[in-house]
Amino acid sequence: MSTGSCSGPGICGGARRRPPPPPEPALSLAADLSELSLDQGYHTLADCGPPRRRRDNSLSDALWMKILSYLEVSDLCRMSRVCRRWSRFVNRLLARPEPWRRIRAAGPLEIAARCAGARAGLCAGSVREWRMKNTAVSVAGAQLVAATFRNLTHLALTGSTSMDARSLAPLITDLMDLRHLDLTGCLNVDWPEWAWLESRLAARRPPVEYIDLTDCSSVSDAGLCALLHTCPSLQYLYLRRCTLVTDAGVRWVPSYCALKELSMSDCTGVTDFGLYELAKLGQALRYLSVAKCSQVSDSGIRTLARRCYKLRYLNARGCGALGDDGVEAIARGCSRLRALDLGATDVSENGLQILARCCPNLKKLALRGCELVGDDGLEAVAYYCRGLTQLNIQDTPVTLRGYRAVKKYCKRCVIEHTNPGFC
């Protein structure tokens, strides 16, 4: 009689126990890698160390010099703090005149000019462009810029609330080659009086061709007259939101300059009489903006269109007194027109049909807020002006029919609208 425990099922009620699994063979990383094929995509497991970083020293000095040569002086000064090698490259670059052609500085004008002059050394005569934003401008700083960088051709001092006529005067009288002047946002600046400038300029006039006085709300008619007298070579003048400018100042424009571009947007003191005088510019005028000049009507536009027949761009947005008569005069007199903004005017479908037939080369047309415009006028524009690339019909009663006509004939036209039903 056996004394051992029963292992058979159903004899003594015990459950059968599973045999233990066979021991697994010991695996090594070398054995696993030897069995893997490179075609299985596991060949990257062989490099178990950290990835190697590409050192900057792998690039040649000539290549680094080429890369850094595309940076401005202000950026180069910051890059020189990275390492000694870059500092050596920057010093070699700043010894050349090419990087000094454009300077974008910050801080007070006097301090920036003093630092830039000391750093440039003999290369100060190579500086052609100087740009600063929201800087503190003083008379001493302006005199220092004019004395240190005498060959400046482009000067931009935007957003400076401390700049006035006294600090502007040295820049006008001492910079002999200045051609581009940007004073956007200088609220307190006005052009110096001509009686003061005449004795200092003598027979020489600065060759300024471009002046931007946007948002310079202190510019007056007397200042505008002095500006035109000082700069007979002026071709581009922007007086956006110069609210003190009226017809009394605009009337002097054709007497001194042959302007190509003139912007008087939001100059509410400009009326039809100002346009009568601007019409004397004749074929020289190519760009004109009288947006939101609420006192401009069909009469002034008619006179302007008859004499300025080479006009390419006209912005009459917000001129509520402008209607079909003025649009017809523009269409028949300025057949070379490329861009026209008639937003918030009284133009109707008849005016649009005449415009479409007479100006087939129109590229951009804005009709935002024109409540008298309909599908018929828009269909005529789409049919005759097939090169149209931009159309604004926001807040107009144009329906899906007019929208589809534009899509049909003007394949590349970008349409701005507020109708969610257009697709």
Whichever domain contains 183, its CATH number is 3.80.10.10
pLDDT of res. 55: 53
* 88 and 180 share one domain: no
* 92 and 202 share one domain: no
* 82 and 113 share one domain: no
pLDDT band at 24 (very low <50, low <70, confident <90, very high): low
HSE-up of residue 94 (Cα within 13 Å, Cβ side): 22
Strands of 167-209, DSSP E: 180-182
Residue 314 lies in a domain: yes
* 180 and 271 share one domain: yes
Rounded CA-CA distance 201/90 in Å is 40
Residue after which a domain boundary falls, among 52, 75, 96: 96
- Is the per-residue pLDDT at 51 higher than 70? no
* 383 and 242 share one domain: no
pLDDT band at 76 (very low <50, low <70, confident <90, very high): confident
Q: Residue 261: name the closest of 281, 235, 227, 290 by CA.
A: 235
**What is the amino acid identity at position 93?**
L
* 336 and 371 share one domain: no
Residue after which a domain boundary falls, among 310, 339, 356: 356
pLDDT of res. 68: 86
- Residues 393, 379 contacting (CB under 8 angstroms): no
Sign of CA dihedral 51, 56, 57, 59: positive
The separation between CA 360 and the C-alpha centre of its own chain, rounded to angstroms, equals: 28
Domain count, the chain: 3
pLDDT in tens, 336-377: 999 999 999 999 999 999 999 999 999 999 999 999 999 999
Length of the chain measured in residues: 423
CB count within 10 Å of CB 18 equals 6
Residue 41 lies in a domain: no
Rounded CA-CA distance 224/31 in Å is 89
Rounded CA-CA distance 70/149 in Å is 22
Residue 45 lies in a domain: no
Secondary structure class of 220 (helix, strand, coil) = coil
* 86 and 123 share one domain: no
Rounded CA-CA distance 387/258 in Å is 31
* 201 and 191 share one domain: yes
- Is the per-residue pLDDT at 133 higher than 60? yes
- Is the per-residue pLDDT at 398 higher than 50? yes
- Residues 280, 307 contacting (CB under 8 angstroms): yes
- Is the per-residue pLDDT at 140 higher than 80? yes
* 325 and 385 share one domain: no
Q: Judging by beta carbons within 10 Å of its beta carbon (0-12, 13-18, 19+), is residue 294 exposed, middle or buried?
A: middle
Residue 33 lies in a domain: no
Residue 27 lies in a domain: no
**Token output for 262:** 């003139």
* H or E segment and range at residue 391: strand 390-392
- Average pLDDT in the 80-96 region? 89
**58: DSSP letter:** G
Residue 289 lies in a domain: yes
* 274 and 376 share one domain: no
pLDDT of res. 71: 87
Q: Which residue has the tokens 């454009």?
A: 102
Rounded CA-CA distance 293/338 in Å is 21
In this structure, the strands spanning 236-238 and 261-263 are: parallel
- Residues 94, 122 contacting (CB under 8 angstroms): no
In this structure, the strands spanning 236-238 and 210-212 are: parallel
Residue 92 lies in a domain: yes
Domain that holds residue 147: 105-356
Question: Range with the lowest mean pLDDT among 44-53, 258-267, 413-422?
Answer: 44-53
* 285 and 387 share one domain: no
pLDDT in tens, 144-160: 999 999 999 999 999 99
Residue 9 lies in a domain: no
How far lies 266's CA from each of 70, 136, 302, in Å? 40, 27, 20
Rounded CA-CA distance 310/303 in Å is 14
pLDDT in tens, 156-203: 999 999 999 999 999 999 998 999 999 999 999 999 988 888 878 867
pLDDT band at 214 (very low <50, low <70, confident <90, very high): very high
* 144 and 217 share one domain: yes
